[in-house]
Structure 1
């Protein structure tokens, strides 16, 4: 029996590309590449800093990744910086998310977020999407000062809920995150929204879905 459904936040519940999409016209024809580079550097910084043991909170990494992206793509007007950062605090959730989470909560399971995001970022995203009534707990790696896929990040859930890993269903759109959660012992569901090829074959997901809509309870 699944005692807790735990979700990654960015890319799984919240659309990380929504910030740039809101300003696509001002950003210009390369806005998609700009958004993808911003996201890629944000993640890269989290992994590198965890390996170095030099933690910085996720908001600071988000700012630094954006500055790098502007430097790499000077054709995008840097005056958009403040607007893009402001939009990141109010990312759209994917359309199926509210109904799915409400259904899981109604079934009696714990519903939680486990994210690299800072507590303030996550609180703003949850409130903006009106998910504060269905999310039981938000676990931010800021408490341990190490980013996923560090095992201690996933252990926050099992310790907090006093559960064995196999009682947790973990959902993420990030294949690397699924690999880390699978190795830790969670039941894993990869939400492969963009049809990416599989990787990390030795730590495969238990289920692959195109969205959260058909997530089994």
Structure 2
């Protein structure tokens, strides 16, 4: 039986770092947040995880952080400046090396994102990482977002062969867990979340601290 050498990556937060978004928050609101006892990393994480990229919910996130009048705390231009941080995001250190290692080992690399296709495509182009148009898919096309099983199923069906499972890789453990339940093999990188919570999300086929290390372990398991 042949080995399935297809691996699907989550892009935003996995291959692409949130650093530029955090820099935008720091530049725009950093001092005012600290005056309220709110650290930029906490605010950024809450917005990313709760707001689902919907900028208007920033007011609710600020309120949950203890800001009594969020609409007086931040204005529309400041929101736009922070949202621009999403457009300016760059690939993580090690992302290009990770993809190169996998391709050199015979893997075909794919991407599946919940974010705007054009913006995500720009992350690859600016980093110099070749990602064929046909290998990058967005949940926008189906209007079904992760972690709904139907978000993963089209690529799973396309890439499965002779009973062999393709891989799904992400730095969001919930994402890998959902993909595994759908039928993928799962590779999890702790570079974003810092800790693997197996008691919450279940076992992973591969766990690594960096993207290149994750690639090495996936390649080893595929031999």
The 5 A counterparts of 1:53-202 are 61-70=53-62, 72=64, 73=67, 74=70, 77-78=74-75, 79-133=77-131, 137-161=135-159, 163=161, 166-193=164-191, 194-199=193-198, 201=200
> Are 1:111 and 1:135, in contact at CA under 8 Å, matched by a contact in 2?
no
With 7-16 and 164-173 compared, the bigger mean Cα shift is at 164-173
SS of structure 1 residue aligned to 2:80: helix
Q: Report whether the alignment pairs 1:208 with 2:210.
A: no
CA distance in 2, matches of 1:143, 1:71: 33
Question: After TM superposition, what 4+ stretches of structure 1 lie above 4 angstroms from structure 2?
Answer: 70-73, 133-136, 199-202
Shift of 1:17: 4.3
In structure 2, do the counterparts of structure 1 residues 105 and 31 end up closer, same or farther at CA, with 3 Å as the change threshold? same
> Are 1:101 and 1:134, in contact at CA under 8 Å, matched by a contact in 2?
no
In structure 2, do the counterparts of structure 1 residues 124 and 165 end up closer, same or farther at CA, with 3 Å as the change threshold? farther
Shift of 1:103: 2.2
Shift of 1:152: 1.5
> Are 2:165 and 2:183, in contact at CA under 8 Å, matched by a contact in 1?
no
CA RMSD of aligned residues (A): 2.6
In structure 2, do the counterparts of structure 1 residues 132 and 63 end up closer, same or farther at CA, with 3 Å as the change threshold? farther
Taking structure 1 as the reference length, what is the TM-score of the superposition? 0.79
With 33-42 and 62-71 compared, the bigger mean Cα shift is at 62-71
Structure 1 unmatched runs, 5+: 44-60
In structure 1, the partner of 2:41 is 32
The 5 A counterparts of 1:10-21 are 10-21=12-23
